[in-house]
Structure formats: C-alpha cells, structure tokens
Amino acid sequence: MLHPTPKLKETPSQTAGPYVGIGMTPNHAEIGGVFAEDLGSTMIFGEVAGERITLAVRVIDGTDAPVTDAVVEIWQADAARRFVQPMLPDNHSVPPFTGWGRQPANAEGVTTFKTVKPGPVPGPDGRMQAPHVLVWIVARGINIGLQTRLYFEDEAAANGADFVLNRIPDPRRRQTLVARKEDGGHYVLDVRLQGENETVFFDV
C-alpha cells in the first residue's frame, strides 16, 4: 500500500457534561427568560387527594462524595393509582398533579420533590406492585441516564411481595431501593453510583 492506514485512537465517550443541568434547569443555573420556572420543579398545582410527602434523593459517587451536578427526574402514579396520560384530549391543560418532577442537586447532592405518596399499580404479572417512584439520574460522567426505583420503608409487606424487587436475587441489594422514613412525611433515598452498597439500576 502506498498510503497505509494509520491506527486511530479510540474516541472518548460522550457524557452528559456540565451543560445538561444548565439546559434542563436554566433558572437554577441563573439563566432567566427561558421558562418562568424550571420544568418539573412543581408537581402539585391544586387540590390533590392522598398523603403529601417529601422525597429527598441524594446522589453519591464511589468515594462517598456528593454528586453536585446531578439532575434527577421522577415519575409516579397518584394516590388513586393513576398516571397522567399526555395523549388525552385535554393534555394542554395543567393537571392538579403532574406525576412528574425534575430537580437539580444541591451542594450536598440532594434533590427534593414535594409530591403525594403513590398508590399501587399492576405489575407485569397482573398483581399489584408495591407503591414506588421511578427515578432517572444524569450527571457529568454518566454516559446514559441511570434508571432505578424508590420504594417506601413503611410498606414492608407490599415490598416483600413486589414483582420487581423480587427479581433482585440478593435481599441486601433490594434495600438499596428502599427510602427511609423520617419525621413529617419525609423520605430519603441514598443513590450510590459505585462501591459498597451500590444502588441497583435497571436496563430499560
């Protein structure tokens, strides 16, 4: 060959980068004029049935340091076991409860959502799942958004029969998805990205 093909270096992986938080939560990044408030920052817009709760999702890296540039989204049913369906004819109106939230992490790696405790919804086997919240996490260094779930410490009986939790063979690993209950309807879930007690993530 007159012109041999040189060996090329591997292309670096693309990550969410520091700009994902700016684009998804511009007001938090002190960029005004895009939205009146960041999308997903409020989940309740009126009278909603059910127990009002606060969810705190704390994102921690493999060295136990907080991931301060994480953005967390949650999606859940309401207390009556219904999900908001965006394809309904009145999808342009704001429902009193959206079932979806998005929050950036603070300096401690914590995102906080004011919501209602979800009711149980049917699982793949037709039986009711334990009350839970779907969680999606992005941050610098994460190539693809991480999917996991949040269950509730005070729903032990339902958790013990849950279809998804029981697909995790090690009972100790199931506990990485269970949020501890604190005073005043406050639940805390530590999401550990790596290391000991790493959170269970789902390939969906």
Q: What is the pLDDT of residues 91-115, one digit of tens each?
A: 555 678 999 999 999 999 999 999 9
Domain membership of residue 108 as a residue range = 19-192
Specify if 36 maps to a domain: yes
Specify if 143 maps to a domain: yes
The average pLDDT across 27-35 equals: 80
Report residue 148: phi and psi, to 5°: -150, -170
**pLDDT over 80 (residue 90):** no
Highest average pLDDT, of 31-35, 85-89, 122-126, 169-173, comes from 169-173
Question: What mean pLDDT value characterizes the chain?
Answer: 88
Q: Which of 2-16, 69-83, 129-143, 172-186 has the lowest mean pLDDT?
A: 2-16
Question: Which of 133, 129, 114 is CA-nearest to residue 161?
Answer: 129
Specify if 27 maps to a domain: yes
Residue 191 Cα distances to 64, 69, 72, 169, angstroms = 10, 14, 11, 19
Cα torsion angle, 33, 34, 39, 41, sign: negative
Q: Which residues contact 163 (CB under 8 A, 6 or more apart)?
A: 123, 124, 125, 127, 129
Specify if 10 maps to a domain: no
Specify if 4 maps to a domain: no
pLDDT (0 to 100) of residue 54? 98
Give the CATH number of the domain where residue 64 resides: 2.60.130.10
Give the model confidence (pLDDT) of 42-72 as tens digits. Answer: 999 989 999 999 999 999 999 999 999 999 9
Specify if 199 maps to a domain: no
**pLDDT over 70 (residue 1):** no
Residues 47, 96: contact at Cβ < 8 Å? Answer: yes
Distance CA 93, CA 88 (A): 10
Q: Which of 19-23, 134-138, 144-148 has the lowest mean pLDDT?
A: 19-23
Cα torsion angle, 80, 86, 88, 94, sign: positive
Per the structure, the count of domains in the chain is 1
